[in-house]
Chain A
């Protein structure tokens, strides 16, 4: 199977060292993490990680099982093939003079992004969307000279009323 980007969602105990365990596991099994985001979930004491990795289906399934095996992992799902909402946020500091400012603001409008800081020589733009949207905005802004970029990495959620954390932990099984 050809390698492709997979989105894994992991619910883990909110305890010190868990991120280290997860990151270490990917390193040890030879996976390069594209992005990883961690934050609170809807449940107290449970953190939610969104991990994007490159790999074939079988190898990602293997790493998913290894991840599930960590004692502090409550649940891991590969949601790549499901219908999902994917978002990423970026802050972009771009050079802006009186000559270019209005042109930049037009682009920002088209992308429904926000300007969150203005100075004599630059603007900070806040943008949210999927990676493609962020990439194309960045491409357009390149002509004005981008000074600094920070991206959060992907977060994701399945569409519809089913949730990743319910109905609780599925029993570990190869048949799943």
Chain B
């Protein structure tokens, strides 16, 4: 059949099961957009900045487990995608980005809106393509989806010259992808799995350290069985939150720079770490030289390059988490670790980490707790970056995979609102709260327009502290309180929301917090709450830079604790 390049792409997207595309058009990609009406299965969401197309695609990918798709035009459209692509790369989110490029005869001539986007995105994509031959287009799109979602997922960019979209060629649906140079390994090596089982069966003080790989692999059940069978406490990474229910008796929540003190202590005291689908990021390990000093380490990960990269490993197992845990479970003998678990409970009692003190002002921790109670722990929380992100992670309890959606590896301020767009598109029935900082929110607030245009019932909670709070905290603690460039003026967020047709409430008194949240929940549609929170509140616990996981600063003990009640 004869088809244009644009039609071929759309046909491939439909065959990949794509339903939603986030993007902004322009000259070079116009011919592709021109074919969209012929494919009514594809719903295009017009965002207000291409960075947000990529963040929305990632939010969608994380909410659904499917590949997120975004479009941008050549030049500035393509460069605007870069932050979003980098974010997806570092957090292993499957994404296909399609960019328009100048026509083939102009490539390399510094033509209008020409940038070398494949060159620019080389180190931040799993793979990328510049398609010069229209006949290859179908194969390339199919490969791109395959590469994006298999192995360790990641973003793939396809750069398509304008005249390739337009050219008509003979088209056959591409066959199965078979790349001799890319064969991700699913099954773990059985000898290694046996070694791991032996270590687990002998351990006195084991800890499971679960990352986002558990969620990506869909291995929460297997993880739970492993933990329960051998009574092993589970700690997650920040991005692993939700991979193991935090209400479970064996959950010791999450570790790291702002993790639970008792989770960090568990890692520090362990004689065996079973690291599953995680990559020993420095925000998780703190000073790596003193990480888990008494422990042997089993490391299960699909990416061989992560093994031994940051931390020495005793038993490496390369493979998909689920495919490794399944045979591993058969080799685990049921055990108790009463003394060890008792020790952990003592640490948790002595270092509760998430107590909220009494205060007449609005504490951001109290706001998150109130959202938790109002939503009965059943919302999907999307965050900005900074203190708001840490409070959202600490004070909401997550029991299901992909209910905490946050920018981990790149720490991208402005991720929250556009990611919420994608999450809500992917999971229309979910209650979606975007917990944001006033700084982060101001980076991408134009997506209020997208939310309104698509009528997405996203609830937005701005932790308005009038500062770039997390940086202010560093200045307070490590730079003698020199608040350089962190005080932050903001607009009247409620009026701003209203300008976008979105209702909102300004909350300046503690007793208005809960009613405002209830009002937001009762409203059928998007809603914004501007919480004027305690301006100089800090996030604790905190591991200072260069310190080990257990050399942490805890909240100064004061007044009475209101939470837990």
Contact = CB atoms under 8 A, between A and B. Distances in A.
A172 B127 CA distance: 18
Contacts of B308: 58, 61-62, 174
A174 B123 contact: no
Given A13-B181, A74-B181, A175 B126 contact: no
A28 B123 contact: yes
A53 B318 CA distance: 26
Interface residues of A, number: 25
A172 B184 CA distance: 7
A159 to B, nearest CB: 26
Nearest to A64: B305
Contacts of B183: 169, 171-172
B304 interface: yes
A24 B189 contact: no
B316 A175 contact: yes
Contacts of B304: 65, 68-69, 172-174
A171 B122 contact: no
A65 B181 contact: no
B127 A71 contact: yes
Nearest to A175: B189
Given A71-B126, A71-B147, A17 B118 contact: yes
A25 B191 CA distance: 32
Nearest to B305: A65
Contact of A24 (B123, B181, B317): B123
A173 B123 contact: no
A65 B301 CA distance: 14
A68 B316 contact: no
Nearest to A168: B180
A60 to B, nearest CB: 12
Interface string B117-134: 011001100110010000
Contacts of B122: 20-21, 24
B182 interface: yes
Interface string B145-165: 001000000000000000000
A124 B122 CA distance: 41
A72 interface: yes
A72 B122 CA distance: 13
14 contacts: A13-B181, A24-B123, A58-B308, A65-B304, A69-B304, A69-B305, A71-B179, A71-B181, A72-B181, A172-B183, A172-B318, A174-B307, A175-B191, A175-B316
Interface of B: 118-119, 122-123, 126-127, 130, 147, 179-185, 189, 191-192, 303-305, 307-309, 316-318
Interface of A: 12-13, 17, 20-21, 24-25, 28, 58, 61-62, 65-66, 68-69, 71-74, 169, 171-175
Given A24-B122, A173-B189, 15 more contacts: A24-B123, A62-B309, A65-B305, A69-B303, A69-B305, A71-B179, A73-B181, A74-B180, A74-B181, A169-B181, A171-B183, A172-B184, A173-B318, A175-B189, A175-B318
